[in-house]
Amino acid sequence: MKLDGVPSRTIWLEPDGWSIGIIDQTLLPHKIVRPVLKTVEDAARAIKTMQVRGAPLIGVTAAYGVALAMRVDASDASLDNAVAFLGAQRPTAVNLRWALEDLRTTLLPLAPSIRAVAAYARAAELAEDDVETCRNIGVNGLKLIKEIAIRKGGGPVNVLTHCNAGWLACVDWGTATSPIYHAHDAGIPVHIWVDETRPRNQGAALTAFELLQHGVPHSLIADNAGGHFMQAGDVDLVIVGTDRVTANGDVANKIGTYLKALAAHDTRVPFYVALPFSTIDWRTEKGSDIPIEERSEDEVLYVQGKLPNGELGSVLISAEGTHARNPAFDVTPARLVTGFITERGICAASREGLLSLYPEKTSEVA
């Protein structure tokens, strides 16, 4: 997608052929800064501090992190250490584990002398695959938006989304946003309700920014406003992303997703989850088994933004001495999900639904 009019991706190999470029998402939308990762520690820090975030992107960043580790020491011990170290940075998104297991399985049978080259090649392949996967999620999700547009017979299709499951969360296109970009590009009028997504405001800072850059009509709303707009008939469809879908179809996603699913269920608004195959955790049976990341209370107590002097800064929004809790994700039970939009098609949010699209996983499923 475009950043300041220039086609961009969220992660790339620098011209030196070995260091890795990223966009620092903690500074968006106010500053576009592109740090360079040169060590496995840099990659881990970028994931932990959320300079890169979103399930697919942290998977690809971790894959490049392994490549950076292999440049320095390609022994079995170094490979195992890099995989464990990178995997420990964020616990909920299963794409991180998936990418690291992929790299380990690819590299372990190889002679150490060729592991670095192979790691870069595999990381690049995962990045390319992610682009194509997200593109196909968009092609499949477009059908839903088209159907609604035809049924409405005029006016924009109003889609509500939570957090940022856009191209900034992936390598390109995004998951939840890919059907939206495909619809917009096909000339179908869409309007997006963007949940601000407290506490880190990924909706306000990232999704609204993405949509603005691409010219997609949207309105930023406070997290608490979604139910109101659904009751008023102003939401035709909800599409969110996910960090992990368990074998029974339960969905972990950014905190607050569950409340949107409840409101959508009550108001009979279709609630879809867009995901690539790498987000399905076949080995975990149900949502209550998913580890939920707990982040610093400061993310709740302070709000970051652009100060009147143009600098970035943060302000305390409650009394000194107030304590907070900050679970970063929640679990939406499969029964509240209308369906999954994947790169292979749309299916029911259930074990049977998932297996209908991925029959080769039958023997792995929990």
Residue 93 in the binding site for ligand MRU (CB under 6 A): yes
Could you tell me which residues are beta bridge partners of residue 246?
A: 281
Q: Choose the binding region for ligand MRU from 16-24, 210-218, 235-243, 343-351 (rule: CB under 6 A).
A: 235-243
Q: Does 53 bind ligand MRU (CB under 6 A)?
A: yes
Minimum separation from the CB atom of position 136 to ligand MRU (A): 14
Contacts of 216 (CB under 8 A, 6+ apart): 180, 181, 184, 190, 192
Instruction: Mark whether 298 is an active-site residue.
Output: no
- Nearest distance in Å: CB 90, ligand MRU: 7
Shortest Cβ distance from residue 33 to ligand MRU (Å)? 18
Q: Kindly state whether residue 9 participates in binding ligand MRU, applying the rule CB under 6 A.
A: no
Catalytic residue among 172, 236, 243, 330: 243
Say how many residues touch ligand MRU, by CB under 6 A. Answer: 18
Question: Does 62 help bind ligand MRU (rule: CB under 6 A)?
Answer: no
From candidates 196, 223, 243, 343, binder to ligand MRU by CB under 6 A: 243
Candidates 327, 39, 61; CA nearest to 168 is 61
Q: How far apart are CA 306 and CA 30, in angstroms?
A: 7
Interface with ligand MRU includes 241 (CB under 6 A)? yes
Return the residue matching tokens 């792995």. Answer: 364
Q: 331 - beta bridge partners?
A: 252
Per-residue burial over 47-83, b if 16 or more Cβ lie within 10 Å, else e, is beebbbbbbbbbbbbbbbbbbbbbbeebeeebbeebb
Among 158, 175, 178, 278, interactor with ligand MRU by CB under 6 A: 175
Stretch that binds ligand MRU, among 114-122, 123-131, 165-173, 305-313 (CB under 6 A): 165-173
- Concatenating the DSSP letter of every residue in 117-159 gives HHHHHHHHHHHHHHHHHHHHHHHHHHHHHHHHHHHHTSS-EEE
Q: Shortest gap between Cβ of 76 and ligand MRU (angstroms)?
A: 31
Does residue 56 interact with ligand MRU by CB under 6 A? yes
- Confirm if 27 and 146 have CB atoms less than 8 A apart: no
Q: Which is nearer to ligand MRU, 197 or 338 (CB)?
A: 197
Q: Rounded distance, CA 346 to CA 342, Å?
A: 6
91 to 33, 94, 96, 184, 223: CA distances (angstroms)? 26, 8, 8, 34, 24
- Choosing from 170, 269, 301, 341, the residue that interacts with ligand MRU (CB under 6 A) is 170
Binding site for ligand MRU (CB under 6 A): 53-56, 93, 163, 165, 169-170, 174-175, 202, 241-243, 253-254, 328
Provide the annotated active-site residues: 243
